[in-house]
Amino acid sequence: MRVVRSLTMAERRKFIVAVLSILISFGLMARNSERPAVSAQTPATAACNPVPPPPCKEGASPGVIQIIPDPSSPQNRLKLARKRFYLSACPFNLTSAVNISTAPTLRGFYESAGASTQLIAWLEENHCDSIYCRALTSAEARCEGAEAVKCVPEFQNAYRNALSALKGNADLAVRMISNYAPLSDAKLRIGFYEARAEWLKNSVARIESAVTRDYRLRTTMTDKDGIGFFYDLCPGPYYISSVAPIYIDRTEIVWETPKPVRVEGPPDMKTATKVTLAFPPNKDKKNFFVGRPIAEFGSQKPAGQ
């Protein structure tokens, strides 16, 4: 007959510790199994550390980035005039962050709004997001000195209505033309601008949240010569993008710098790092970036959409 020996006090303690260890291990395993699985691959932006605003580390001077259109042609200034661009310390990763194919396009929007082919052509020729991008001339309103095929019926009809309401005051009728039908229709006046602004708002929010919850992009609007500035940049790498497509020469173009622009921290604010925005079929080189047609971004939806 086998005799079972009683455990000593020390052995009992060891036994209790071993049992507790096993129970704790199983408890942790069960808790971890309830957590959502984490993908082995993380977006490039997740490893990016946003650069804080001045004062910069070690007393470095803040720098400036100046974006300019390709100076090879005077027309390039008009193509990028009054356009919005964004700056980030992290890559934009537009293909994975937003669905570029859902961005409203100038021609597509105005065709759906019932605009005439002449009005669409006028907007495209002047690189306008709305009829307010420049003042109408009296000749344009009256359709004088131009081929009939180029006359914009919306301008003509609104001018006639304004002239009638303003008792024949021709100068005032031209200045107030957008207050009269059919230009008084908000869709024709500012509809595309507002639709694009709403798309940008949502897309920028997605790009920011891909970095951190409180991260914010910098933004600037170019002037009439297509020039824009980003100020107060601590030394480090930065990326630039239009995010939304811009209508250029019958093609919707998107800028997204594949390589960072480095700000070294100049000794004074008069020194700017110049970044040139060029057009296809040019090639990228240092601080010289070529836009890509919207078709190159494909129509694949990013995760979560």
pLDDT at 280 over 80: yes
| pLDDT reported for residue 264 | 84
pLDDT surpasses 80 at 202: yes
How long is the chain? 305
Element (H, E) at 234: none
Q: What is the pLDDT of residue 27?
A: 47
Tell me the chain's radius of gyration from C-alpha atoms: 30
Q: What is the pLDDT of residues 238-279, one digit of tens each?
A: 999 999 999 999 899 999 999 999 998 666 556 799 999 999
> How many CA atoms are closer than 13 Å to the CA of 156, on its beta-carbon side?
13
Higher pLDDT, 33 or 15: 15
Bridge partners of residue 221, in order along the sequence? 84
Question: Residue ranges of the alpha helices (H) in 67-182?
Answer: 75-79, 94-97, 106-112, 117-125, 138-142, 153-165, 170-175
State pLDDT tens for residues 112-148.
Answer: 999 999 999 999 999 999 999 989 999 999 988 766 7
- Of 200, 154, 196, which Cα lies nearest the Cα of 177? 154
Position 61 scores a pLDDT of 87
Lowest-confidence pick of 6-10, 160-164, 253-257, 276-280: 6-10
Lowest mean per-residue pLDDT among 36-45, 80-89, 152-161: 36-45
**83 close to 242: Cβ distance less than 8 angstroms:** yes
Residue 270 phi/psi, 5-degree rounding, is -80, -15
Q: Out of 55-64, 67-76, 103-112, 268-277, which region has the weakest mean confidence (pLDDT)?
A: 268-277
Check if the beta carbon of residue 296 is closer than 8 Å to that of residue 101: no
pTM, two decimal places = 0.79
Query: Mind listing the domains of the chain with CATH numbers?
Result: 47-103+195-297 (2.60.40), 108-187 (no CATH)
CB-CB contact of 220 with 87 (8 Å): yes
- Of 65, 104, 63, the residue nearest 241 (C-alpha): 65
pLDDT in tens, 218-245: 999 999 999 999 999 999 999 999 999 9
58 residue type, one letter: E
| Phi and psi at residue 151, to the nearest 5° | -65, 130
